[in-house]
Amino acid sequence: MSDERAHGAQKTTALGWLEQNADQLSANHMTIWNLHEPSWREYKSAAWYVERLRAEGFTVEEGTGGMPTAFCAEWSNGDGPTIGGYAEYDAVPGTSQAAVPYHQPREGVSRHAAGHTDPHSALGIGSFAGFLAAKHAMERHGIKGRLKFFGEPAEKMCGSKPVHAAKGYYDDLDAAISFHPHSFPALANSCFWDTHSAPYWSRIYTFECNNPETWQQGAGLTTVTHNHSTARAPGAIDAVCLMYTSSKYTKESMLPHHGSWSLNEYIVQAGYAAADNRAPGLAQIQYSLRAPTLDMCERVFEVLDRNAEHCAAMTHCTTSAAWITRTRAGLPNHAMAETAWRNFEAVGAPQWNERAREFGREIQKSLGVEPMDNPFATEIQTLTAPWEGEKAFRAQLPAWQKNLAADDYVDYTWHAPTVRLYVGRPTLKSVPGMRYPDWTRHAMGGMPDCIDPMWSTASKVIAMTIIDLLTDGTSLAKAQDEFKQRTGGGIGGSNWVAPLLPRDFEAPIHYRWPEYVTTERGTEWTTPTAAG
Protein backbone atom coordinates (compact mmCIF):
# COMPACT_ATOMS: atom_id res chain seq x y z
CA MET A 1 0.00 0.00 0.00
CA SER A 2 1.34 3.45 -0.93
CA ASP A 3 2.08 6.03 1.78
CA GLU A 4 -0.83 8.16 0.56
CA ARG A 5 -3.27 5.26 0.65
CA ALA A 6 -2.00 4.19 4.09
CA HIS A 7 -2.42 7.74 5.35
CA GLY A 8 -5.98 7.81 4.05
CA ALA A 9 -6.75 4.48 5.69
CA GLN A 10 -5.50 5.78 9.04
CA LYS A 11 -7.87 8.74 8.86
CA THR A 12 -10.73 6.55 7.69
CA THR A 13 -10.21 4.37 10.76
CA ALA A 14 -10.38 7.40 13.07
CA LEU A 15 -13.51 8.76 11.41
CA GLY A 16 -15.12 5.34 11.50
CA TRP A 17 -14.53 5.08 15.23
CA LEU A 18 -16.20 8.46 15.75
CA GLU A 19 -19.20 7.40 13.70
CA GLN A 20 -19.55 4.10 15.56
CA ASN A 21 -19.38 5.84 18.94
CA ALA A 22 -21.44 8.94 18.08
CA ASP A 23 -24.44 8.03 20.24
CA GLN A 24 -22.32 7.24 23.28
CA LEU A 25 -20.28 10.42 22.87
CA SER A 26 -23.48 12.45 22.61
CA ALA A 27 -24.65 10.94 25.90
CA ASN A 28 -21.23 11.69 27.40
CA HIS A 29 -21.62 15.33 26.47
CA MET A 30 -24.99 15.51 28.18
CA THR A 31 -23.45 14.00 31.32
CA ILE A 32 -21.03 16.94 31.61
CA TRP A 33 -23.68 19.48 30.56
CA ASN A 34 -26.01 18.22 33.28
CA LEU A 35 -23.32 18.45 35.97
CA HIS A 36 -22.79 22.19 35.22
CA GLU A 37 -20.11 22.70 37.87
CA PRO A 38 -18.39 26.11 38.21
CA SER A 39 -14.70 27.07 38.23
CA TRP A 40 -12.39 25.26 40.68
CA ARG A 41 -15.35 23.15 41.86
CA GLU A 42 -15.73 20.74 38.92
CA TYR A 43 -15.30 17.66 41.09
CA LYS A 44 -17.73 15.30 39.38
CA SER A 45 -16.85 16.43 35.86
CA ALA A 46 -13.12 15.89 36.39
CA ALA A 47 -13.75 12.52 38.02
CA TRP A 48 -15.82 11.44 35.00
CA TYR A 49 -12.95 12.22 32.61
CA VAL A 50 -10.39 10.50 34.82
CA GLU A 51 -12.47 7.32 34.96
CA ARG A 52 -13.10 7.29 31.20
CA LEU A 53 -9.47 7.93 30.29
CA ARG A 54 -8.26 5.16 32.56
CA ALA A 55 -10.80 2.83 30.98
CA GLU A 56 -9.27 3.74 27.60
CA GLY A 57 -5.79 2.76 28.79
CA PHE A 58 -4.42 6.17 29.74
CA THR A 59 -2.24 6.64 32.80
CA VAL A 60 -3.78 9.53 34.72
CA GLU A 61 -2.27 11.83 37.32
CA GLU A 62 -5.03 13.50 39.31
CA GLY A 63 -4.88 16.86 41.05
CA THR A 64 -2.05 18.14 38.86
CA GLY A 65 -0.38 21.38 39.83
CA GLY A 66 -2.12 21.36 43.20
CA MET A 67 -5.51 21.73 41.50
CA PRO A 68 -8.02 19.11 42.73
CA THR A 69 -10.10 19.23 39.54
CA ALA A 70 -7.16 19.11 37.11
CA PHE A 71 -5.50 16.03 35.63
CA CYS A 72 -2.88 14.87 33.15
CA ALA A 73 -3.51 11.69 31.15
CA GLU A 74 -0.86 9.97 29.01
CA TRP A 75 -0.95 7.11 26.53
CA SER A 76 1.94 5.89 24.41
CA ASN A 77 2.17 3.59 21.41
CA GLY A 78 5.97 3.59 21.35
CA ASP A 79 8.65 6.19 20.76
CA GLY A 80 7.38 9.12 18.74
CA PRO A 81 6.16 12.70 19.00
CA THR A 82 3.98 13.85 21.90
CA ILE A 83 0.75 15.63 20.95
CA GLY A 84 -1.13 17.59 23.61
CA GLY A 85 -4.74 18.59 23.98
CA TYR A 86 -7.27 19.18 26.71
CA ALA A 87 -10.80 19.21 28.01
CA GLU A 88 -12.46 22.09 29.81
CA TYR A 89 -15.60 21.54 31.86
CA ASP A 90 -16.29 24.61 34.03
CA ALA A 91 -19.71 26.25 33.93
CA VAL A 92 -20.52 29.92 34.54
CA PRO A 93 -22.47 31.24 37.56
CA GLY A 94 -25.63 33.15 36.74
CA THR A 95 -26.40 31.30 33.51
CA SER A 96 -28.69 28.49 34.62
CA GLN A 97 -30.81 27.59 31.59
CA ALA A 98 -32.75 24.43 30.80
CA ALA A 99 -32.56 22.84 27.34
CA VAL A 100 -35.94 24.24 26.34
CA PRO A 101 -36.84 26.84 23.67
CA TYR A 102 -37.85 29.49 26.19
CA HIS A 103 -36.20 31.22 29.14
CA GLN A 104 -36.26 28.86 32.11
CA PRO A 105 -33.63 27.98 34.75
CA ARG A 106 -32.62 24.37 35.18
CA GLU A 107 -34.98 22.43 37.40
CA GLY A 108 -34.13 22.20 41.09
CA VAL A 109 -31.45 24.90 41.27
CA SER A 110 -31.38 28.64 41.69
CA ARG A 111 -31.60 30.77 38.58
CA HIS A 112 -28.26 32.20 39.77
CA ALA A 113 -26.58 28.78 39.54
CA ALA A 114 -24.02 27.83 36.91
CA GLY A 115 -24.66 26.76 33.35
CA HIS A 116 -22.55 25.94 30.31
CA THR A 117 -22.26 28.99 28.10
CA ASP A 118 -19.57 28.47 25.42
CA PRO A 119 -20.26 25.54 26.16
CA HIS A 120 -17.22 23.94 27.75
CA SER A 121 -19.14 20.70 28.05
CA ALA A 122 -19.00 20.38 24.25
CA LEU A 123 -15.48 21.79 24.03
CA GLY A 124 -14.25 19.01 26.29
CA ILE A 125 -16.09 16.17 24.55
CA GLY A 126 -15.02 17.36 21.09
CA SER A 127 -11.35 17.29 22.03
CA PHE A 128 -11.71 14.09 24.07
CA ALA A 129 -13.41 12.29 21.18
CA GLY A 130 -10.79 13.46 18.70
CA PHE A 131 -7.94 12.15 20.85
CA LEU A 132 -9.67 8.81 21.42
CA ALA A 133 -10.29 8.43 17.69
CA ALA A 134 -6.62 9.16 16.97
CA LYS A 135 -5.61 6.63 19.63
CA HIS A 136 -7.78 3.98 17.99
CA ALA A 137 -6.14 4.65 14.60
CA MET A 138 -2.68 4.58 16.19
CA GLU A 139 -3.39 1.15 17.68
CA ARG A 140 -4.93 -0.23 14.49
CA HIS A 141 -2.15 0.98 12.18
CA GLY A 142 0.87 0.83 14.48
CA ILE A 143 1.43 4.60 14.53
CA LYS A 144 4.13 5.53 17.03
CA GLY A 145 3.72 8.44 19.37
CA ARG A 146 2.33 9.66 22.67
CA LEU A 147 -0.91 11.45 23.49
CA LYS A 148 -1.00 13.78 26.48
CA PHE A 149 -4.50 14.92 27.41
CA PHE A 150 -5.14 17.45 30.17
CA GLY A 151 -8.10 18.33 32.33
CA GLU A 152 -8.09 22.12 32.53
CA PRO A 153 -10.47 23.58 35.16
CA ALA A 154 -11.52 27.20 35.67
CA GLU A 155 -10.97 28.42 32.11
CA LYS A 156 -13.40 31.27 32.70
CA MET A 157 -10.82 32.57 35.16
CA CYS A 158 -7.95 31.56 32.85
CA GLY A 159 -7.03 29.45 35.82
CA SER A 160 -5.27 26.14 35.22
CA LYS A 161 -3.15 26.40 32.08
CA PRO A 162 -0.76 29.05 33.45
CA VAL A 163 -0.29 26.81 36.49
CA HIS A 164 0.40 23.70 34.40
CA ALA A 165 2.79 25.74 32.25
CA ALA A 166 4.68 27.16 35.25
CA LYS A 167 5.13 23.67 36.70
CA GLY A 168 6.54 22.22 33.48
CA TYR A 169 3.66 20.03 32.31
CA TYR A 170 3.83 21.31 28.71
CA ASP A 171 7.60 21.24 28.28
CA ASP A 172 7.67 17.78 26.65
CA LEU A 173 4.96 18.50 24.07
CA ASP A 174 5.91 18.45 20.39
CA ALA A 175 2.63 20.09 19.32
CA ALA A 176 -0.73 20.99 20.84
CA ILE A 177 -4.30 21.38 19.63
CA SER A 178 -6.68 23.90 21.21
CA PHE A 179 -10.35 23.73 20.22
CA HIS A 180 -13.10 26.19 21.13
CA PRO A 181 -16.69 26.75 20.00
CA HIS A 182 -16.71 29.83 17.78
CA SER A 183 -16.62 33.27 19.38
CA PHE A 184 -16.11 35.44 16.30
CA PRO A 185 -18.55 35.27 13.33
CA ALA A 186 -15.72 35.81 10.84
CA LEU A 187 -13.98 32.71 12.21
CA ALA A 188 -16.97 30.50 12.97
CA ASN A 189 -15.27 27.58 11.21
CA SER A 190 -11.59 28.36 10.96
CA CYS A 191 -8.29 28.72 12.86
CA PHE A 192 -6.51 31.71 14.31
CA TRP A 193 -3.80 33.02 12.02
CA ASP A 194 -1.84 35.99 13.42
CA THR A 195 -4.24 37.61 15.90
CA HIS A 196 -4.37 35.32 18.93
CA SER A 197 -5.84 35.87 22.39
CA ALA A 198 -4.46 38.61 24.61
CA PRO A 199 -3.00 38.42 28.13
CA TYR A 200 -5.43 38.00 31.00
CA TRP A 201 -4.36 38.96 34.50
CA SER A 202 -6.47 38.57 37.62
CA ARG A 203 -5.70 39.46 41.23
CA ILE A 204 -7.58 39.35 44.53
CA TYR A 205 -7.16 42.11 47.08
CA THR A 206 -7.93 41.13 50.67
CA PHE A 207 -8.75 43.73 53.33
CA GLU A 208 -8.72 42.82 57.02
CA CYS A 209 -9.56 44.91 60.08
CA ASN A 210 -7.74 42.92 62.74
CA ASN A 211 -7.35 45.60 65.43
CA PRO A 212 -10.50 47.73 65.42
CA GLU A 213 -9.93 48.77 69.05
CA THR A 214 -6.95 50.92 68.01
CA TRP A 215 -9.10 53.21 65.87
CA GLN A 216 -9.09 56.65 67.57
CA GLN A 217 -7.87 54.99 70.76
CA GLY A 218 -6.52 58.24 72.17
CA ALA A 219 -9.85 60.06 72.04
CA GLY A 220 -11.55 59.19 75.35
CA LEU A 221 -14.94 60.68 74.54
CA THR A 222 -16.94 58.48 76.87
CA THR A 223 -16.56 56.51 80.08
CA VAL A 224 -19.08 53.90 78.92
CA THR A 225 -17.18 50.75 77.98
CA HIS A 226 -19.51 49.56 75.26
CA ASN A 227 -18.91 49.39 71.53
CA HIS A 228 -22.15 51.24 70.80
CA SER A 229 -20.69 54.28 72.58
CA THR A 230 -17.41 54.51 70.66
CA ALA A 231 -16.49 55.41 67.12
CA ARG A 232 -16.26 52.14 65.27
CA ALA A 233 -13.40 51.52 62.85
CA PRO A 234 -14.63 51.72 59.23
CA GLY A 235 -13.49 48.16 58.56
CA ALA A 236 -13.28 45.86 55.59
CA ILE A 237 -16.63 46.53 53.92
CA ASP A 238 -15.78 50.21 53.63
CA ALA A 239 -12.34 49.26 52.34
CA VAL A 240 -13.70 47.12 49.54
CA CYS A 241 -16.34 49.75 48.67
CA LEU A 242 -13.67 52.44 48.49
CA MET A 243 -11.51 50.14 46.37
CA TYR A 244 -14.41 49.55 44.02
CA THR A 245 -15.29 53.22 43.61
CA SER A 246 -11.76 54.64 43.56
CA SER A 247 -10.73 52.18 40.88
CA LYS A 248 -13.78 53.15 38.84
CA TYR A 249 -12.80 56.82 39.17
CA THR A 250 -9.19 56.17 38.19
CA LYS A 251 -9.93 53.70 35.38
CA GLU A 252 -9.53 56.31 32.66
CA SER A 253 -6.12 57.18 34.05
CA MET A 254 -4.76 53.65 33.94
CA LEU A 255 -3.98 53.45 30.22
CA PRO A 256 -3.96 55.71 27.15
CA HIS A 257 -7.22 55.87 25.24
CA HIS A 258 -6.39 53.44 22.46
CA GLY A 259 -6.72 49.75 21.84
CA SER A 260 -9.33 47.41 23.26
CA TRP A 261 -9.02 46.41 26.90
CA SER A 262 -11.43 45.68 29.72
CA LEU A 263 -11.22 45.65 33.51
CA ASN A 264 -13.90 43.91 35.55
CA GLU A 265 -14.36 43.34 39.26
CA TYR A 266 -16.05 40.75 41.44
CA ILE A 267 -16.59 41.13 45.18
CA VAL A 268 -15.76 37.70 46.51
CA GLN A 269 -16.94 38.40 50.05
CA ALA A 270 -17.53 41.36 52.33
CA GLY A 271 -18.15 41.51 56.04
CA TYR A 272 -18.15 38.68 58.55
CA ALA A 273 -19.64 41.05 61.14
CA ALA A 274 -23.36 40.49 61.36
CA ALA A 275 -23.61 42.35 64.68
CA ASP A 276 -24.11 46.08 64.17
CA ASN A 277 -21.46 47.13 66.68
CA ARG A 278 -18.61 45.19 65.17
CA ALA A 279 -16.17 46.47 62.57
CA PRO A 280 -16.41 44.22 59.47
CA GLY A 281 -13.26 42.17 59.59
CA LEU A 282 -12.75 40.68 56.11
CA ALA A 283 -13.55 41.61 52.52
CA GLN A 284 -12.11 40.61 49.15
CA ILE A 285 -12.39 42.00 45.64
CA GLN A 286 -11.08 40.41 42.46
CA TYR A 287 -9.96 42.41 39.42
CA SER A 288 -9.64 40.77 36.02
CA LEU A 289 -7.99 42.51 33.08
CA ARG A 290 -7.87 41.73 29.37
CA ALA A 291 -5.30 43.88 27.59
CA PRO A 292 -3.33 43.51 24.35
CA THR A 293 0.18 43.69 25.86
CA LEU A 294 2.01 42.66 29.02
CA ASP A 295 3.15 46.25 29.52
CA MET A 296 -0.47 47.42 29.67
CA CYS A 297 -1.21 44.76 32.27
CA GLU A 298 1.71 45.93 34.41
CA ARG A 299 0.51 49.53 34.33
CA VAL A 300 -3.08 48.74 35.31
CA PHE A 301 -2.10 46.64 38.31
CA GLU A 302 0.38 49.27 39.42
CA VAL A 303 -2.59 51.62 39.84
CA LEU A 304 -4.74 48.98 41.51
CA ASP A 305 -1.99 48.09 43.99
CA ARG A 306 -1.65 51.73 44.95
CA ASN A 307 -5.41 52.15 45.30
CA ALA A 308 -5.56 49.15 47.64
CA GLU A 309 -2.89 50.58 49.92
CA HIS A 310 -4.70 53.91 50.27
CA CYS A 311 -8.13 52.33 50.77
CA ALA A 312 -6.74 50.12 53.51
CA ALA A 313 -5.15 53.08 55.28
CA MET A 314 -8.40 55.06 55.23
CA THR A 315 -10.42 52.23 56.74
CA HIS A 316 -7.99 51.00 59.43
CA CYS A 317 -7.31 47.78 57.54
CA THR A 318 -4.36 45.84 56.27
CA THR A 319 -4.30 44.70 52.68
CA SER A 320 -2.68 41.90 50.74
CA ALA A 321 -2.78 40.93 47.10
CA ALA A 322 -2.58 37.49 45.47
CA TRP A 323 -2.54 36.54 41.82
CA ILE A 324 -5.33 34.35 40.50
CA THR A 325 -3.73 34.11 37.07
CA ARG A 326 -1.30 35.79 34.69
CA THR A 327 -1.30 34.61 31.08
CA ARG A 328 0.91 35.50 28.18
CA ALA A 329 -0.20 36.66 24.71
CA GLY A 330 -0.86 33.93 22.18
CA LEU A 331 1.97 32.95 19.82
CA PRO A 332 0.91 32.20 16.22
CA ASN A 333 1.97 29.14 14.26
CA HIS A 334 0.91 29.21 10.61
CA ALA A 335 2.10 25.68 9.93
CA MET A 336 -0.18 24.24 12.61
CA ALA A 337 -3.10 26.33 11.35
CA GLU A 338 -2.50 25.13 7.79
CA THR A 339 -2.44 21.48 8.85
CA ALA A 340 -5.70 21.76 10.79
CA TRP A 341 -7.27 23.82 8.02
CA ARG A 342 -6.54 21.15 5.37
CA ASN A 343 -8.42 18.65 7.49
CA PHE A 344 -11.24 21.10 8.16
CA GLU A 345 -11.69 21.51 4.42
CA ALA A 346 -11.88 17.74 4.05
CA VAL A 347 -14.47 17.40 6.84
CA GLY A 348 -16.58 20.43 5.94
CA ALA A 349 -18.56 22.80 8.12
CA PRO A 350 -21.13 21.44 10.60
CA GLN A 351 -24.69 21.11 9.36
CA TRP A 352 -27.94 20.94 11.33
CA ASN A 353 -30.88 18.59 10.84
CA GLU A 354 -34.59 19.38 10.85
CA ARG A 355 -34.98 18.61 14.58
CA ALA A 356 -32.33 21.23 15.37
CA ARG A 357 -33.93 23.74 13.00
CA GLU A 358 -37.31 23.19 14.60
CA PHE A 359 -35.82 23.86 18.03
CA GLY A 360 -34.40 27.09 16.66
CA ARG A 361 -37.76 28.07 15.24
CA GLU A 362 -39.42 27.39 18.61
CA ILE A 363 -36.94 29.77 20.24
CA GLN A 364 -37.77 32.41 17.65
CA LYS A 365 -41.49 31.95 18.31
CA SER A 366 -40.97 32.38 22.06
CA LEU A 367 -39.26 35.71 21.38
CA GLY A 368 -41.92 36.96 18.96
CA VAL A 369 -39.69 36.49 15.91
CA GLU A 370 -41.16 35.16 12.68
CA PRO A 371 -39.78 31.59 12.45
CA MET A 372 -37.32 31.01 9.61
CA ASP A 373 -37.05 27.93 7.45
CA ASN A 374 -33.36 27.75 8.38
CA PRO A 375 -33.00 29.70 11.63
CA PHE A 376 -29.23 29.26 11.92
CA ALA A 377 -26.64 31.87 10.95
CA THR A 378 -24.96 31.40 7.58
CA GLU A 379 -21.49 31.83 9.10
CA ILE A 380 -21.71 28.69 11.23
CA GLN A 381 -22.54 26.55 8.18
CA THR A 382 -19.63 27.67 6.01
CA LEU A 383 -15.83 27.54 6.19
CA THR A 384 -13.53 30.57 6.34
CA ALA A 385 -9.83 30.25 5.57
CA PRO A 386 -7.66 31.42 8.50
CA TRP A 387 -6.01 34.19 6.47
CA GLU A 388 -9.43 35.47 5.38
CA GLY A 389 -10.67 35.53 8.96
CA GLU A 390 -7.52 37.43 9.90
CA LYS A 391 -8.56 40.23 7.55
CA ALA A 392 -11.77 40.70 9.56
CA PHE A 393 -9.73 41.06 12.75
CA ARG A 394 -7.33 43.56 11.23
CA ALA A 395 -10.21 45.68 9.88
CA GLN A 396 -11.39 46.45 13.42
CA LEU A 397 -8.06 46.72 15.28
CA PRO A 398 -5.31 49.36 15.28
CA ALA A 399 -2.18 48.23 13.45
CA TRP A 400 -0.14 47.95 16.67
CA GLN A 401 -2.63 45.64 18.42
CA LYS A 402 -1.70 42.01 17.79
CA ASN A 403 -3.90 40.29 20.39
CA LEU A 404 -7.60 40.39 21.25
CA ALA A 405 -9.96 38.96 23.91
CA ALA A 406 -8.54 36.33 26.29
CA ASP A 407 -8.22 32.61 26.89
CA ASP A 408 -5.57 30.70 28.77
CA TYR A 409 -4.79 28.32 25.86
CA VAL A 410 -2.13 30.95 25.09
CA ASP A 411 0.18 29.33 27.64
CA TYR A 412 0.35 26.21 25.47
CA THR A 413 1.59 28.30 22.53
CA TRP A 414 4.89 29.15 24.27
CA HIS A 415 5.79 25.50 24.96
CA ALA A 416 4.86 23.84 21.68
CA PRO A 417 3.54 24.83 18.25
CA THR A 418 -0.20 25.15 18.80
CA VAL A 419 -3.27 25.55 16.62
CA ARG A 420 -6.38 27.36 17.85
CA LEU A 421 -9.34 25.69 16.14
CA TYR A 422 -12.80 27.26 16.02
CA VAL A 423 -15.94 25.38 15.03
CA GLY A 424 -19.37 26.96 14.61
CA ARG A 425 -21.73 26.51 17.52
CA PRO A 426 -25.52 26.77 17.04
CA THR A 427 -26.31 30.46 16.65
CA LEU A 428 -29.57 31.94 15.40
CA LYS A 429 -29.70 34.10 12.30
CA SER A 430 -29.70 37.79 13.14
CA VAL A 431 -32.85 39.88 13.03
CA PRO A 432 -32.62 43.63 12.24
CA GLY A 433 -32.93 45.74 15.37
CA MET A 434 -32.79 42.79 17.76
CA ARG A 435 -30.11 40.94 19.69
CA TYR A 436 -30.96 37.42 20.81
CA PRO A 437 -30.64 36.97 24.59
CA ASP A 438 -27.78 34.78 25.80
CA TRP A 439 -30.09 32.09 27.13
CA THR A 440 -30.90 31.05 23.55
CA ARG A 441 -27.33 29.83 22.98
CA HIS A 442 -27.21 28.22 26.41
CA ALA A 443 -30.42 26.30 25.74
CA MET A 444 -29.15 24.97 22.40
CA GLY A 445 -25.99 23.79 24.14
CA GLY A 446 -28.07 21.22 26.00
CA MET A 447 -30.08 20.02 23.00
CA PRO A 448 -28.14 17.17 21.30
CA ASP A 449 -29.40 17.82 17.78
CA CYS A 450 -28.25 21.43 18.10
CA ILE A 451 -24.87 20.96 19.77
CA ASP A 452 -23.64 17.59 18.48
CA PRO A 453 -22.77 18.83 14.95
CA MET A 454 -20.34 21.34 16.47
CA TRP A 455 -18.29 19.10 18.75
CA SER A 456 -18.44 16.10 16.38
CA THR A 457 -17.01 18.21 13.55
CA ALA A 458 -14.23 19.36 15.87
CA SER A 459 -13.44 15.77 16.87
CA LYS A 460 -12.94 14.78 13.23
CA VAL A 461 -10.60 17.68 12.51
CA ILE A 462 -8.63 17.02 15.69
CA ALA A 463 -8.23 13.28 15.03
CA MET A 464 -7.09 13.84 11.44
CA THR A 465 -4.69 16.60 12.47
CA ILE A 466 -3.08 14.34 15.09
CA ILE A 467 -2.58 11.64 12.47
CA ASP A 468 -0.95 14.14 10.08
CA LEU A 469 1.41 15.39 12.78
CA LEU A 470 2.47 11.83 13.61
CA THR A 471 2.74 10.34 10.14
CA ASP A 472 3.06 12.66 7.15
CA GLY A 473 6.70 13.56 7.82
CA THR A 474 6.37 17.29 7.08
CA SER A 475 3.57 18.95 9.08
CA LEU A 476 5.16 18.58 12.51
CA ALA A 477 8.67 19.44 11.33
CA LYS A 478 7.42 22.60 9.65
CA ALA A 479 5.47 23.63 12.75
CA GLN A 480 8.46 23.06 15.03
CA ASP A 481 10.78 25.03 12.73
CA GLU A 482 8.37 27.96 12.83
CA PHE A 483 8.07 27.69 16.63
CA LYS A 484 11.85 27.92 16.96
CA GLN A 485 11.98 30.91 14.65
CA ARG A 486 9.29 32.80 16.53
CA THR A 487 10.76 32.06 19.98
CA GLY A 488 14.38 32.54 19.00
CA GLY A 489 15.29 28.92 19.57
CA GLY A 490 12.36 27.24 21.33
CA ILE A 491 11.81 27.10 25.08
CA GLY A 492 14.30 29.48 26.67
CA GLY A 493 15.07 31.16 23.35
CA SER A 494 15.89 34.84 22.89
CA ASN A 495 12.28 35.76 22.03
CA TRP A 496 10.63 33.27 24.37
CA VAL A 497 8.35 34.54 27.12
CA ALA A 498 8.57 32.44 30.27
CA PRO A 499 5.54 31.56 32.41
CA LEU A 500 4.36 34.57 34.40
CA LEU A 501 3.56 32.55 37.51
CA PRO A 502 6.37 31.09 39.66
CA ARG A 503 6.98 27.35 39.65
CA ASP A 504 5.89 27.13 43.31
CA PHE A 505 2.64 29.03 42.67
CA GLU A 506 -0.25 27.75 44.74
CA ALA A 507 -3.45 27.47 42.73
CA PRO A 508 -6.21 29.78 44.06
CA ILE A 509 -8.56 27.00 45.05
CA HIS A 510 -9.18 28.15 48.63
CA TYR A 511 -11.22 31.28 47.97
CA ARG A 512 -14.96 31.45 48.41
CA TRP A 513 -15.84 30.62 44.82
CA PRO A 514 -19.50 29.84 44.05
CA GLU A 515 -20.29 26.14 44.24
CA TYR A 516 -22.88 23.48 45.00
CA VAL A 517 -22.86 22.26 48.57
CA THR A 518 -24.67 19.44 50.34
CA THR A 519 -26.25 20.16 53.70
CA GLU A 520 -29.07 18.59 55.70
CA ARG A 521 -31.34 20.68 53.48
CA GLY A 522 -30.03 18.89 50.40
CA THR A 523 -27.85 20.09 47.52
CA GLU A 524 -27.81 23.86 47.20
CA TRP A 525 -26.16 26.63 45.26
CA THR A 526 -24.22 28.70 47.75
CA THR A 527 -25.77 32.04 46.78
CA PRO A 528 -28.68 32.15 47.40
CA THR A 529 -29.41 29.05 49.47
CA ALA A 530 -32.90 28.43 48.14
CA ALA A 531 -33.79 27.28 44.65
CA GLY A 532 -35.86 29.61 42.54
Asked if the structure places residue 519 within a domain, the reply is no
Residue 454 · residue 344 · CB < 8 Å: no
Same domain for 26 and 127, yes or no, is yes
Residue 44 · residue 107 · CB < 8 Å: no
Asked if the structure places residue 520 within a domain, the reply is no
Residue 443 · residue 363 · CB < 8 Å: yes
Which carries the bigger pLDDT value, residue 531 or residue 214?
214
Percent of the chain with pLDDT over 90: 86
Beta bridge partner(s), residue 326: 201
Asked if the structure places residue 499 within a domain, the reply is no
* pTM for the predicted model, two decimal places: 0.95
Q: Residue 162: which domain range?
A: 3-199+329-487
Same domain for 174 and 212, yes or no, is no
Inform me whether the pLDDT recorded for 135 exceeds 50: yes
Same domain for 457 and 401, yes or no, is yes
Judging by beta carbons within 10 Å of its beta carbon (0-12, 13-18, 19+), is residue 461 exposed, middle or buried?
Answer: buried
C-alpha span between 380 and 188 (Å, rounded): 5
Tell me what pLDDT residue 2 has: 60
Asked if the structure places residue 523 within a domain, the reply is no
Domain count across the chain: 2
Final residue belonging to a domain, choices 310, 326, 342: 326
Same domain for 143 and 20, yes or no, is yes
Tell me what pLDDT residue 529 has: 45
Tell me what pLDDT residue 223 has: 54
Asked if the structure places residue 516 within a domain, the reply is no
Same domain for 214 and 189, yes or no, is no
Final residue belonging to a domain, choices 487, 503, 524: 487
Confidence of residue 532 (pLDDT cuts 50, 70, 90): very low
Q: At 164, which CATH number?
A: 3.40.630.10
Mean of pLDDT over the chain:
94
Same domain for 259 and 375, yes or no, is no
Final residue belonging to a domain, choices 326, 348, 368: 326
C-alpha span between 348 and 356 (Å, rounded): 18
Same domain for 180 and 227, yes or no, is no
What is the H or E stretch that residue 320 is in? strand 318-326
Confidence of residue 186 (pLDDT cuts 50, 70, 90): confident
Tell me what pLDDT residue 459 has: 98
Asked if the structure places residue 102 within a domain, the reply is yes
Distances, alpha carbon 234 to alpha carbons 208, 243, 376, in Å? 11, 13, 54
Same domain for 231 and 107, yes or no, is no
Same domain for 305 and 207, yes or no, is yes
Asked if the structure places residue 494 within a domain, the reply is no
Residue burial 348-366, b: 16+ Cβ < 10 Å; e: rest: ebbebeeebbebbbbbbee
Q: At 212, which CATH number?
A: 3.30.70.360
Residue 137 · residue 26 · CB < 8 Å: no
Tell me what pLDDT residue 527 has: 63
